Structure 1
Amino acid sequence: MSFYPLAFAALLLMLRSRVRRLTATTWLDCLITGLTAAAFAAVLALGALVRAADGSVAVVVASVAYPVADLFLLGLLSGALVVIGRGAGAGWWWLAGGVALFVVTDTVYAYQVVHGIYTVGGPLDVAWSGAFVCLGLAACQPTRGGMTSRVEGRMALLVPAGCTLAAVGLLFWGYLGDGDPVAGGLALAAVLAALARTGFTFRDVRALADSRRQARTDELTGLPNRRSVFEALEAADERLAAGAAVTVLVLDLDRFKEINDSLGHAVGDALLRQVGPRLHRELRTEDFLARLGGDEFVVLCADLDGADAVTMATRLRAQLQQPFRIGGMSLTIDASVGVAVGPEHSTTAEELLQLADLAMYSAKAGRSGVAVYDDARDGSGRHRLEAVEQLRAGITGGQLLLHYQPKLALATGEVDGVEALVRWQHPTRGLLFPDAFIDLAESAGLMSRLTTAVVDMALAQCRAWADDGSLLTVSVNVSPSNLVDEEFPDEVAGALHRHGLPAAALVLEVTESILMEDRERAVRVLSRLRETGVGVSIDDYGTGYSSLAYLAALPVTELKLDRVFVGAMTGSSRAASIVTSTLQLAHALDLTLVAEGAEDQATVDALATLGCDIVQGYHLSRPLPADQLWSWLQDRKPSEVPFPS
């Protein structure tokens, strides 16, 4: 009999290793399943066995102890399998099979003992041996790792509910006839445990509802939050698809930042808490009010046309214009409201929210209080949002192209490098030059991604040229976001390794203004780039801050003199002096000087006479696609090199 407490302890330890936490509901699930199984076992054999037993109490207890203990063990196993689920593994099922065989064999054994018909060495001994073989096979199964997450949703209630129905059915059957009292008692215990389980379930459901409500509610104001807004927009899309009208109003409090700065955030928070009740006074029951964030609120209305929406917006502003009483103070604020009506302005609710936001900014800029979206007035903002998404798709979708402008080394007359200049092959607008999308990329936070893509494309082309027998250095312009990104040097090193190029094949061009925005971090990033062997060029030199202090400290290899000075040097002595002094400074610092904007032979001759290192400009070649540049390089003859005459 000592097998059973040890087996119980072992099963509990096994269950504990598979379940994160043995909660009250877990114990109740085990209890319900075990009691139901025991109740049916009592109906089938155990109850009759107890009634048939005679003799002393010790004889009866000894005869039924094995099957009773087996039933409790089987109940624990059944409950454990319910908790663990289908991922229990073969070991658990072999255990369950072995214990089930014990239940049958021990019940038959007890019956035979009570009736005096048991014989040693009979079929029961073989059945017991089979049960122990099942336990041995369970021990031979590989242990399945990992913890089992708690079962959620309908599956968590399926087995307890089934057991409860079975137990109730058993009680009903006993009520109709002479039911077994042992089975009835076990079934009643199973039903009571199921009722307790139901209580825990209701508690969990209430806690889940509270957590979901908190996830969709703004903590400060108690209004629906941004997540709820987008859920409401999805429902509004269905109404728009059915042809119904949907109106979106975006409200922004005027001068709220002044209140926060002058009176403190506590006063600002108290004011925001009073906004919701004020606005609700003018809204219908079916209207949806939420806080977008900060001092912005949104209202979604159905079945309102443009005129009615303006009327509602005016009433909402009037409510907010009434004085707010906060801690003995009287505060007066105003609001700007933007209105967008669907399907007139858009057939999607999310875009209506964007358009209402644009109209709100127009109302704030024009101090008109309320503004309905107007494509002629606000369309540029709308189209900008579309352009940002198009550019994002263009970067990832292979719409970027590179043109290359050659750089001529005056000392040798050879083209040993190119500058990569990005173009955007827009699907509807055609080939766009950088001035059409660089500012958009900067403001939308896409510049870092754009630069990374350009570097990779330029190095891939450089590799292709090297494979064809011409290793050219390639220069790429770097954005401010790259220079403050501590991971950018690793990305560059990875791209060089991926394309099998030496670091000296790449020159990164940065502007002076970039270096002044976050000088310490920029110097740190540039220093790491130089440690890998990548060249660093100061682009548009002479038009920015041109501080000699930072020039001496920066890890640069090249100065690129702006075309403003290069183009004017043959007709202006001052411009020529600037070029001369810059060239002397670069050479004194052991830097290469690149003169861009060489548009004629006279300028090239003058630069060569001064000792300039590299020239770049339309006189040599305009930027060309990679295949055209390669043809241009192949067709050039030494005699055709623009060189001082």
Structure 2
Amino acid sequence: MRPQDEGTGRSRIDIAQAVVAPLPWAVMTTGLVVNEITKPVASVETPQVLLTSLAIFFPLLILRLGLVAWLHPGRRTTLLLLLASIAAWALGSISVNAARVDGQTQFPAPGEWLFLVSYLGMAGYLLRDVDWRQPRPARSWLDIVIVCGGTACLACLLLVTPIRAVSHQEGSSLLLALIYPLADMILALLVLGQSLLQTRSDRRKAWMIGLAFALMACADSGFALQGSASTYDFGNLSYALWGAGFSVLVAAACRPGQTVIRAVPRSAGTPVLVGAGLVALAVLAFRPDDTLAYYMLPPALLTLAAVSARLALALRDANRANDAFALSQTDDLTKLPNRRAVRAWLSEGLAARRPMALMLLDLDGFKEINDSLGHRAGDTVLTLVSLRLQEAVDQRTRVARLGGDEFAIIMGTSDEIELMETAYGVLAELAKPIVVEGIKISPAGSIGVTVAVATDQDGGEVLRRADVAMYQAKNSGLGAALYDAELDEFTRSRLELAEELRRALTEDQIEVWYQPQVDAATMRVCGLEALVRWRHPTQGVISPVAFLPAARRAGLMGRLSEVVVTQVVEDLQTRLKEGIDLNVAINCAPPELLGPTFLPHLFAAMATGDVPAERLVLEVTEDSFLADPQRTREILLELRGHGVQISIDDYGTGFSSLAYLRNLPVQELKIDRTLIGDVATDARSRMIVASTIQLAHALEMRIVAEGVENAADLAALVAMGIDEVQGYHIGRPMPPGQIDRWVIERAAEDRVLVRTTSSDPEHHNEQDPLEQEKEDSR
């Protein structure tokens, strides 16, 4: 066949195979019907009809197998082996029935050896029709022996005993009568074993092959039950069973090949193994006499031996499983239970609704021990800590190591006072000095405590709350802390808030409000600070204190900063068109300032809005310089190169040194409200603020006081020479439209005040009280 004709050739072979497939059934049915009809007719010999049918039936089966073998070269050897076995059977059957034409034929006939060869060929076919490449564990082979042995014992009880009782034969005569049904049973058991070993993945094909041998076993059993006549006197039923068996076997062999799934074989199951053992015991206990021992005892004894071996393996596997389970829940270093065990305890306690609490201990400074003394010293510390923890609690309390330097303590109580007393007792015991590598060390730790509640579904939530409480204890420095939902930044509600904020950024719910800044000398509005607000569809206006932490955790600060910058530039453009010329300050956190997207977005917004760069003031905090001083300096120089002013926000809350400002393009300092709040009454605050003002002026920077809440603080700041002030005493944050009206009204009042003062001769030379106090202080 030429390569270009290969597809056409295969198609034709498929068609031919499909046409041939039903023909054997038709020939067999026709032959049986004709045989049944012609029995009463003396002129027609029944063997001649059957001989003619066999001469057509078996060649059609062989033709079908040959076509499939031609179509599938990879299976050709296997299929040809089955083809040869069916050909041998056909020759034997034709030989026996040809001899019957001349009269009754005695058993065994000369062609009987062909049937034995046929069974050998079918056994070879079954062995080659599967994939034995993957090794199988011993228990799988024992399962096969048990199942097949038990089935053989059952067959002995249901097959051998009835045949012997009917045939009245003994010894070799009985064995010869049973050889064919026993061979069918053995081949059926072979298919069963292959299925249990999972070397035969096509279940439908396995069932078809098993059915084929079951049909042939029925026919062969009928032959054995003929009794002592020892002649080939078959009925139509036997021929129908043999023909159906071979037809089903060939149909199964012609099914398309499937890839064997190499999986670990499953066990036959306890009921199957026990059942096989009971059948074997029944064979040994209830056999009618010793004559059948030759046939029945070997499979029964083999089955019982396999059951015993399988039980021994099962017991060994169970012990290993228990050991493995114990090891899986034990920490290798401290021999304490591990995280898996803690989760199991929590789940068990929650399911039983028992009072329960969890403490989570984290060692402080353990990394320094590892880095300084090495991991061996660190392991020694962890081992000693585990002993200290067990000594610090009673025997009913469970102690475990979660991993690293984290330990868990589970108590069967919900009394918070008792829990905190236990926690501080543990810390006190832990703080006793230990000697490691010749160095005396006093371990310290932080403990988070949480109580299991009825709404907890699993131990994961309890562990999470204890972890949050532990970090609360570490941050507060208290040593131990009880879980506080108000301080939990990772609750479900906060997660939902972050998702709502994500939608808010795309649905224009973010607004920019403005707080006025006034010139301390003239009390006229000189600038605005942009402050973000979230107009929630159901909760109304939300302060940034409520949603900025969620924005940071969710990674939304960059997007939020871009939205604020865009609105600020648009509002500034509108304000300039209305004749309101004021500076606008924008807050920028260090991650956004040092990030790759904020500055490009700011410059693009400025270019699009065509606003003067000097009207924008970027407020950065002191921790920006601590995070990355060199990168921060480069960014500030780039901002100043574009004309944007720079302000150091919250001055006084960081390291508060003016030294780092000498070589930076900073135009403004904003003193934090924590220093402003007591400036009128606290002498120390006044000294700090006054010295800061003098140093800032020496560096030619303007200085702004934020958080001015009352007239007394305002007067004190003005007297000290502050440049600008802002706070609730001046004006609260307002939406864009409201702040614009406020600025316009404020400017109108200032103009009226100026005209009134200049037209009144009595007040012409009178100085403003704040200005007078400012001059007096000088």
TM over 0.5: yes
Q: Render the CA deviation track for 1:210-265: whole Å, top value 9, x for unaligned.
A: 444444443443333333333322223235xx4x4322211111221110111122
In structure 2, give the amino acid aligned to 1:260: N
Q: Distance between the aligned counterparts of 2:274 and 2:117, measured in 1?
A: 34
Displacement of 1:382: 1.8
Q: Is the partner of 1:223 in helix, strand or coil?
A: coil
Closer/same/farther in 2, CA of residues 350 and 3 from structure 1, 3 Å limit: same
Does 2:334 correspond to 1:229? no
Match of 2:614 among 565, 588, 606: 565
In structure 2, give the amino acid aligned to 1:566: R
Specify the alignment match of 1:168 in structure 2: 281
Match of 2:222 among 108, 126, 130: 108
Q: Are the counterparts in 2 of residues 31 and 75 from structure 1 also a CA contact under 8 Å?
A: no
TM-score, normalization by structure 2: 0.51
Q: Is the partner of 2:269 in helix, strand or coil?
A: helix
Specify the alignment match of 1:307 in structure 2: 417
Displacement of 1:307: 3.1
Q: Are the counterparts in 1 of residues 533 and 542 from structure 2 also a CA contact under 8 Å?
A: no
Q: How does 1:114-513 map to 2 (within 5 A)?
A: 115-119=229-233, 123-145=237-259, 147=261, 149-150=263-264, 156-174=269-287, 180-181=292-293, 182-239=295-352, 242=353, 244-303=354-413, 305-324=415-434, 326=436, 330-343=440-453, 351-373=461-483, 375=484, 379-382=485-488, 384-391=490-497, 394=500, 401-403=506-508, 425=536, 429-430=539-540, 432=542, 436-443=546-553, 445-447=554-556
Q: Are the counterparts in 1 of residues 360 and 409 from structure 2 also a CA contact under 8 Å?
A: yes
In structure 2, give the amino acid aligned to 1:402: E
Displacement of 1:142: 4.3
Specify the alignment match of 1:16 in structure 2: 131
Q: Distance between the aligned counterparts of 2:150 and 2:592, measured in 1?
A: 76
Q: Render the CA deviation track for 1:145-203: whole Å, top value 9, x for unaligned.
A: 561644668x73342233223333443433x8779423343223212212222222233
Q: Distance between the aligned counterparts of 1:125 and 1:285, measured in 2?
A: 80
Closer/same/farther in 2, CA of residues 86 and 282 from structure 1, 3 Å limit: farther
Q: Is the partner of 2:311 in helix, strand or coil?
A: helix
Closer/same/farther in 2, CA of residues 75 and 285 from structure 1, 3 Å limit: farther
Question: Which structure has the larger Rg?
Answer: 2
Displacement of 1:380: 3.9
TM-score, normalization by structure 1: 0.60
Specify the alignment match of 1:71 in structure 2: 185
Q: Distance between the aligned counterparts of 1:347 and 1:118, measured in 2?
A: 75
Q: Is the partner of 1:117 in helix, strand or coil?
A: coil
In structure 1, give the amino acid aligned to 2:601: D
Q: How does 1:607-622 map to 2 (within 5 A)?
A: none
Q: Are the counterparts in 2 of residues 35 and 189 from structure 1 also a CA contact under 8 Å?
A: yes
Q: Is the partner of 2:601 in helix, strand or coil?
A: strand
Displacement of 1:295: 1.0
Identity over aligned pairs, percent: 25
Closer/same/farther in 2, CA of residues 126 and 333 from structure 1, 3 Å limit: same
Does 2:601 correspond to 1:539? yes
Q: Are the counterparts in 1 of residues 613 and 643 from structure 2 also a CA contact under 8 Å?
A: no
Closer/same/farther in 2, CA of residues 61 and 381 from structure 1, 3 Å limit: same
Q: Are the counterparts in 2 of residues 105 and 128 from structure 1 also a CA contact under 8 Å?
A: yes
Displacement of 1:288: 2.6
Q: Distance between the aligned counterparts of 1:561 and 1:238, measured in 2?
A: 66
Specify the alignment match of 1:471 in structure 2: none
The count of residues paired between Structure 1 and Structure 2 equals: 474
In structure 2, give the amino acid aligned to 1:162: G
Does 2:637 correspond to 1:582? no
Closer/same/farther in 2, CA of residues 371 and 561 from structure 1, 3 Å limit: farther
Q: Is the partner of 1:79 in helix, strand or coil?
A: helix
Q: Render the CA deviation track for 1:479-529: whole Å, top value 9, x for unaligned.
A: xxxxxxxxxxxxxxxxxxxxxxxxxxxxxxxx99668868xxx6xxx9xxx
Specify the alignment match of 2:37 in structure 1: none
Q: Are the counterparts in 1 of residues 430 and 443 from structure 2 also a CA contact under 8 Å?
A: yes
Displacement of 1:291: 2.1
Closer/same/farther in 2, CA of residues 568 and 231 from structure 1, 3 Å limit: closer
Q: Distance between the aligned counterparts of 2:220 and 2:455, measured in 1?
A: 79
Q: Distance between the aligned counterparts of 1:114 and 1:270, measured in 2?
A: 88
Displacement of 1:97: 0.5
Q: Is the partner of 1:437 in helix, strand or coil?
A: helix
Displacement of 1:559: 8.3
Where relative contact order (Cα < 8 A, 6+ residues apart) is larger, the structure is: 1
Does 2:154 correspond to 1:40? yes
Closer/same/farther in 2, CA of residues 98 and 365 from structure 1, 3 Å limit: same
Q: Are the counterparts in 1 of residues 369 and 378 from structure 2 also a CA contact under 8 Å?
A: yes
Closer/same/farther in 2, CA of residues 46 and 347 from structure 1, 3 Å limit: closer
Q: Is the partner of 2:337 in helix, strand or coil?
A: coil
5+ residue gaps, structure 1 = 407-420, 459-473, 478-510, 527-535, 543-555, 570-577, 585-616, 623-645
In structure 2, give the amino acid aligned to 1:185: P
Closer/same/farther in 2, CA of residues 567 and 383 from structure 1, 3 Å limit: closer
Closer/same/farther in 2, CA of residues 224 and 395 from structure 1, 3 Å limit: farther
Q: Are the counterparts in 1 of residues 181 and 220 from structure 2 also a CA contact under 8 Å?
A: yes
Q: Are the counterparts in 2 of residues 170 and 187 from structure 1 also a CA contact under 8 Å?
A: yes
5+ residue gaps, structure 2 = 1-115, 512-531, 569-587, 619-637, 645-734, 741-778
In structure 2, give the amino acid aligned to 1:390: E
Displacement of 1:137: 2.1
Q: Are the counterparts in 2 of residues 537 and 559 from structure 1 also a CA contact under 8 Å?
A: no
TM-align CA RMSD:
5.0
Q: Distance between the aligned counterparts of 1:249 and 1:561, measured in 2?
A: 59
Specify the alignment match of 2:208 in structure 1: 94
Q: Is the partner of 1:290 in helix, strand or coil?
A: strand
Q: Distance between the aligned counterparts of 1:560 and 1:224, measured in 2?
A: 64
Q: Is the partner of 2:642 in helix, strand or coil?
A: helix
Closer/same/farther in 2, CA of residues 110 and 446 from structure 1, 3 Å limit: farther
Q: Render the CA deviation track for 1:616-645: whole Å, top value 9, x for unaligned.
A: x958x99xxxxxxxxxxxxxxxxxxxxxxx
Displacement of 1:441: 3.2
Q: Is the partner of 1:403 in helix, strand or coil?
A: coil
Q: Distance between the aligned counterparts of 2:160 and 2:501, measured in 1?
A: 75
Closer/same/farther in 2, CA of residues 351 and 133 from structure 1, 3 Å limit: closer
Q: Distance between the aligned counterparts of 1:74 and 1:91, measured in 2?
A: 13
Closer/same/farther in 2, CA of residues 360 and 513 from structure 1, 3 Å limit: closer
Closer/same/farther in 2, CA of residues 390 and 424 from structure 1, 3 Å limit: farther
Q: Are the counterparts in 2 of residues 247 and 301 from structure 1 also a CA contact under 8 Å?
A: yes
